[in-house]
Amino acid sequence: MLSRTLIGLVAAGAAALGMSTVANAEPQPAPPPPPPNVNVLTPVKPSEFAAMDGTFYSFRVADGVTCVLNRTTGGYGCSGALPAAPNAANVVSGGQIGAPGFSNAAAPIYDGLAADAKPMPAGSRISFRNVTCGFDGVVTTCQNNFDQAGFVLSPAGSFILNATNPLLDRPEGTNPYFN
């Protein structure tokens, strides 16, 4: 009888301890909102945004942020006072494949292109190779169509899109066409 009582007390104590650990656990941060669909925005004529003898497409968005698409490497990015960027980053850049990243630069890295950068009209997008960048009037989104990685610059919070292509990155032994 004593051993049953002892076992019951130990089990109740362990359950209470487990419950307090769960109750005190830090909640997971909310995932970022889904990115805006840049493909619904109106395409612009890329040649109107050509800079540096046509090696770049450059454009300006809200608050003096300059964005570029490099026609030689396929790289893309924005620099300037990025709204609500992590660690007060002033640069975000990426390539044709893979996730971009935020960083800080001592001087504007697209300074030579900023003078020629034409404002991107609200509700417009520009594309080159795998990358499309769009501006809805408030939010700037750049995304590659290979693995859907990219970034969102928004006053509500700027973040990286780390999406993956289910045809290329899937768990071993799975098939995207069959369940």
User: pLDDT of 60-91, one tens digit each?
Assistant: 998 889 999 999 999 999 999 999 999 999 99
Q: Using alpha carbons, list the distances in angstroms from residue 105 to 79, 92, 163.
A: 9, 10, 26
91 DSSP 8-state letter:
E
H runs (alpha helix) in the chain? 2-24, 111-114
Query: Mean pLDDT for the chain?
Result: 81
* Rounded distance between C-alpha atoms, residue 86 and residue 106, angstroms: 16
Question: Domain boundaries in the chain?
Answer: 38-162
pLDDT in tens, 90-104: 999 998 888 999 999
Residue 154 predicted with pLDDT over 70:
yes
- Output the pLDDT for position 60: 93
The residue behind tokens 């359950």 is 15
Judge residue 93's burial from the number of C-beta atoms within 10 Å of its C-beta, 0-12 exposed, 13-18 middle, 19 or more buried: buried
